[in-house]
């Protein structure tokens, strides 16, 4: 899809910056990982950035996201601090969760990034509760609840669709369907691939994006968020996407036999980071790339130089108040 | 006899409340009054759960709330305990104060992922960035054939996990005060109710007040043996206390009220004095509240304190429905008194009270089905 004619060069630059920052941040995480400075199971979003970026580009500051354990992209796209994330991965006291959450539990309350969970599907009802509060308080805010294809097999997913539709909650369900739950393909898990049809029976509008196109994702989100703000209730978007790296860890896994590298090739050819990058003036792109590298270097330096939590922190924050 | 037992129960438990003014109120009405007063005070409090707005209103404890506060603040849900629990957590993280109601504690098993993996941990694993001020009301059933899945006291599962608070008030006064405390608390609280306690009355102040968590109450004084009762077992221990007095044994009865945090000191102080501790739980013994209480007391006291301990609770079986088996499944005032007597006077000739004397009003008056 071509970008909407209403998108100005500065919009394209913003979208590219976000895509590029996430890609490079995770490449940097993968580079550092073998040093064992990051002791946290990392589930990299490399190749899946366009979903988080397309959705979050529409959301305002008062809107929220909830993510999955593959959540670096969601966190960064919604405005989570890169320094806070990097320090968290290093287990430092300055991390976004003070070194107590790690990669799978990134959070930034100020940016309305709800925390994510290591247990698949668990954050879907949490996001719904946030939407319920927004509805009750009439804030006009909307939440995008990110989930993977595996989460659609959990009961909580269907319970949430039902309730969200019944109460017309301001929530956009965003399914990042990368085709695998760890190493198990859809063909071994789904009786049919008609996910949108399943969801549609709850009287929820559904959309399916086949190619990870950031502008298509952005357009659907814009429609859904506008509808939700007007009280129309939830919407559902399934984004087919591809995980380039291994399920968990910094490398790739095409050698272990559950998928072929030929699957990856078309996704590299339509890589959204590169695609949006080529839409920019070369000078703008270079400027953004430099800014990203600077930001990244600063974040890594911040994580490196930050202290670990003090021993007494072990017992802090068990209870609030 | 039942009426007498009932009157004694109310009087002995609530002396403190009576002194501060109030009127006799049923446990069920105390629960409702707590919620009404908190909802009047704080617009962020809301009540939801299966059947909270149905004609029976959770045995009356939510009756009329929807008429008073509207469907926005009091609403029924689909049979989706997992997602509804997560929704409460999300709303709480967004700053509201949900009260999620379950008519049986057994149903909490459907909520375990959310309660254990999210509610208990969110404040910690998100580095203190969020709070989860929610209340999970749950009722334990007993008798009239409630059976395997309507009778379980499963609170020790929640005691096991840091981040949750667990309270089990045994009378109307504490039910109201604990519920208000739970609503105002910034942490997730598992609020344990007992079906048989619902009609029991206690002097209860009219105004809103809190019963602090982590403070046990000595509900009957004595010097020969210390009995700790959990939830409705406080009532059963109080009757045993009376029976023991007739047999010349002076027993102290302690109601922990809150299990997390647990006031070990009050129990320890009593047990140091009597040197005998009997913990009577409304649940199984293995890894249960009774195990925790005994272990904490003995660890603190050390072997030199010379405290002998015993535990009573559910038989190590699933709860049966045949009335005679069901009766054997639970401790009762007669078996409690017998055990306490033996603990207090190990060398005396064994004594057991007349089981007929041990019957309690709240048990005898209860008619099913629910």
| pLDDT level of residue B355 (50, 70, 90 thresholds) | confident
Greater pLDDT, B104 or B13: B104
Q: Is the pLDDT of residue A276 over 60?
A: yes
Q: Is the pLDDT of residue A155 over 90?
A: yes
Q: Is the pLDDT of residue A1 over 90?
A: no
Q: What is the CATH number of the domain that holds A229?
A: 3.40.50.970
Instruction: Confirm or reject contact between A142 and chain B (CB < 8 A).
Output: no
Q: Is the pLDDT of residue B13 over 60?
A: no
What's the pLDDT at B366?
A: 87
Greater pLDDT, A315 or B5: A315
Residue partners of A6: CB distance under 8 A and separation at least 6: none
What's the pLDDT at A82?
A: 98
Rounded to a whole number of angstroms, the distance from the CA of B240 to the nearest CA of chain A is 37
Q: Given CA atoms B34, A130, B79, A164 in this order, what sign does their dihedral have?
A: positive
CATH topology classification for B217-364 = Rossmann fold (3.40.50)
Task: Let me know if domain B22-204 sits in CATH 3.40.366.10.
Answer: no
Give the pLDDT mean for A160-174.
98
Across chain B, what does the average pLDDT equal?
94
The residues of chain B that CATH labels 3.40.50.970 are 22-204
A4-18, A107-121, A130-144, A255-269: least confident range? A4-18
**B132 to chain A: nearest residue by CA?**
A320
* Structural domain includes residue A309: no
**How many residues belong to chain B?**
370
DSSP conformation class of B116 = I
C-alpha–C-alpha distance, residues B277 and B269, integer Å: 11
Residue matched to tokens 């339509």: A270
Catalytic residue among B150, B173, B194, B241: B150
Rounded to a whole number of angstroms, the distance from the CA of A232 to the nearest CA of chain B is 17
pLDDT digits (tens, 9 = 90+) for B129-188: 999 999 999 999 999 999 999 999 999 999 999 999 999 999 999 999 999 999 999 999
| pLDDT level of residue A2 (50, 70, 90 thresholds) | low
Residue range of the domain that includes A165: 19-304
Count of CB atoms situated within 10 Å of the CB of A49: 28
Query: Could you tell me what percent of chain A has a pLDDT over 90?
Result: 97
Q: Could you give the 3-state DSSP secondary structure of residue A169? A: coil
pLDDT digits (tens, 9 = 90+) for B194-208: 999 999 999 999 999
Least CB-CB distance to A320: which of B114, B123, B127?
A: B123
**Which own/partner contact pairs does B62-71 have at CB distance under 8 Å and 24+ positions apart?**
B62/B32, B62/B35, B62/B101, B63/B32, B64/B32, B65/B32, B65/B35, B65/B36, B65/B39, B68/B36, B69/B39
pLDDT digits (tens, 9 = 90+) for A232-248: 999 999 999 999 999 99
B184 close to B131: Cβ distance less than 8 angstroms: no
The residues of chain B that CATH labels 3.40.50.920 are 217-364
When divided into structural domains, chain A yields a total of 1
CB–CB contact B89 A125 (8 Å): yes
CB–CB contact A128 B90 (8 Å): yes
* Structural domain includes residue A9: no
Give the pLDDT mean for B334-347.
97
Q: Is the pLDDT of residue A211 over 70?
A: yes
A124 close to A145: Cβ distance less than 8 angstroms: yes
Q: Is the pLDDT of residue B12 over 70?
A: no
* Structural domain includes residue A225: yes
Q: What are the Cα distances from residue A201, in Å, to A159, A194, B288?
A: 13, 11, 44
Instruction: Confirm or reject contact between A151 and chain B (CB < 8 A).
Output: no
What's the pLDDT at B50?
A: 96
Identify any residues that bridge with B85 across adjacent strands, giving them in sequence order: none
Is-catalytic flag, B150? Answer: yes
Give the pLDDT mean for A156-175.
98
Give the pLDDT mean for A144-173.
98
C-alpha–C-alpha distance, residues A113 and B357, integer Å: 61
Which chain B residues touch A100 with a CB distance below 8 Å? 124-127
Q: Could you give the 3-state DSSP secondary structure of residue B128? A: coil
- Among A107, A125, A158, which would you mutate to test the B interface (most chain B Cβ atoms within 10 Å of its Cβ)? A125
Rounded to a whole number of angstroms, the distance from the CA of B311 to the nearest CA of chain A is 30
């Amino acid at each position: 899809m071509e970008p909407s004619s209403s998108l100005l060069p500065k919009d394209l630059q913003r979208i590219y910056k976000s895509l590029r920052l996430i890609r490079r941040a995770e490449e940097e995480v993968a580079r550092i990982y073998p040093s064992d400075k990051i002791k946290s199971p990392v589930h990299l979003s490399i190749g899946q950035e366009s979903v988080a970026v397309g959705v979050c580009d529409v959301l305002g500051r008062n809107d929220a996201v909830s993510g999955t354990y593959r959540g670096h992209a969601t966190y960064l796209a919604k405005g989570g601090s890169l320094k806070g994330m990097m320090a968290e991965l290093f287990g430092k006291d300055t991390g976004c969760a003070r070194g107590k959450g790690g990669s799978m539990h990134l959070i930034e309350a100020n940016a309305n990034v709800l925390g994510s969970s290591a247990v698949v599907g668990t954050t879907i009802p949490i996001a719904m509760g946030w939407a319920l509060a927004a509805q009750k308080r009439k804030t006009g805010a909307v939440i995008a609840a990110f989930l993977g294809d595996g989460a659609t097999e959990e009961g909580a997913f269907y319970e949430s669709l039902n309730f969200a539709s019944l109460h017309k909650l301001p929530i956009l369900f965003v399914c990042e369907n990368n085709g695998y739950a760890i190493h198990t393909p859809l063909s071994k898990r789904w009786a049919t691939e008609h996910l949108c049809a399943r969801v549609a029976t709850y009287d929820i509008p559904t959309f399916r994006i086949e190619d990870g196109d950031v502008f298509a994702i952005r357009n659907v989100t814009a429609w859904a968020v506008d509808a939700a703000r007007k009280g129309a209730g939830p919407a559902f978007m399934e984004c087919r996407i591809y995980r380039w790296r291994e399920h968990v860890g910094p490398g790739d896994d095409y050698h272990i036999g559950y998928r072929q590298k030929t699957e990856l090739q078309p996704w590299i050819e339509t890589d959204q980071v590169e695609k949006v990058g080529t839409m920019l003036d070369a000078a703008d792109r270079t400027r953004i790339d430099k800014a990203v590298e600077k930001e990244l270097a600063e974040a890594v330096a911040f994580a490196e130089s930050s202290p670990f939590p003090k021993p007494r922190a072990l017992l802090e924050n068990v209870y609030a108040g | 006899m039942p009426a007498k037992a009932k009157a004694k129960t109310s009087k002995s438990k609530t002396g403190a409340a009576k002194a501060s003014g109030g009127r006799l109120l049923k446990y069920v009405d105390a629960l409702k009054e707590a919620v009404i007063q908190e909802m009047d005070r704080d617009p962020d409090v809301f009540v939801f759960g299966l059947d909270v707005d149905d004609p029976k209103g959770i045995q009356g404890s939510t009756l009329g709330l929807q008429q008073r506060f509207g469907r926005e603040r009091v609403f029924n849900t689909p049979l989706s305990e997992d997602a509804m629990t997560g929704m409460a957590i999300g709303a709480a993280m967004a700053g509201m104060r949900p009260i999620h109601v379950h008519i049986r504690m057994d149903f909490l098993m459907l909520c375990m992922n959310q309660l254990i993996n999210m509610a208990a941990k969110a404040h910690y694993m998100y580095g203190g960035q969020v709070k989860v001020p929610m209340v999970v009301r749950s009722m334990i059933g007993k008798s009239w054939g409630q059976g395997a899945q309507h009778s379980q006291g499963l609170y020790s599962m929640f005691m096991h996990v840091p981040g949750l608070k667990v309270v089990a008030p045994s009378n109307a006064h504490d039910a109201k005060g604990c519920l208000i405390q739970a609503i105002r608390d910034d942490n997730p609280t598992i609020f344990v109710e007992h079906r048989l306690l619902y009609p029991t009355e206690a002097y209860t102040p009219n105004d809103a007040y809190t019963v602090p968590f982590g403070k046990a109450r000595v509900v009957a004084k004595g010097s020969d043996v210390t009995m700790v009762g959990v939830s409705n077992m406080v009532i059963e221990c109080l009757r045993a206390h009376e029976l023991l007095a007739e047999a010349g044994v002076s027993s102290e009865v302690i109601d922990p009220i809150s299990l997390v945090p647990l006031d070990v000191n009050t129990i320890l102080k009593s047990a140091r004095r009597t040197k005998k501790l009997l913990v009577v739980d409304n649940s199984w013994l293995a890894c249960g509240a009774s195990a925790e209480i005994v272990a904490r007391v003995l660890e603190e006291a050390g072997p030199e304190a010379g405290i002998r301990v015993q535990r009573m609770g559910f038989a190590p079986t699933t709860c049966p429905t045949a009335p005679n088996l069901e009766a054997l499944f639970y401790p009762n005032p007669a078996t409690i008194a017998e055990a306490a007597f033996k603990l207090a006077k190990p060398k005396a000739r064994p004594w057991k009270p007349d089981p007929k004397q041990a019957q309690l009003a709240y048990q005898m008056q209860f008619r099913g089905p629910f």
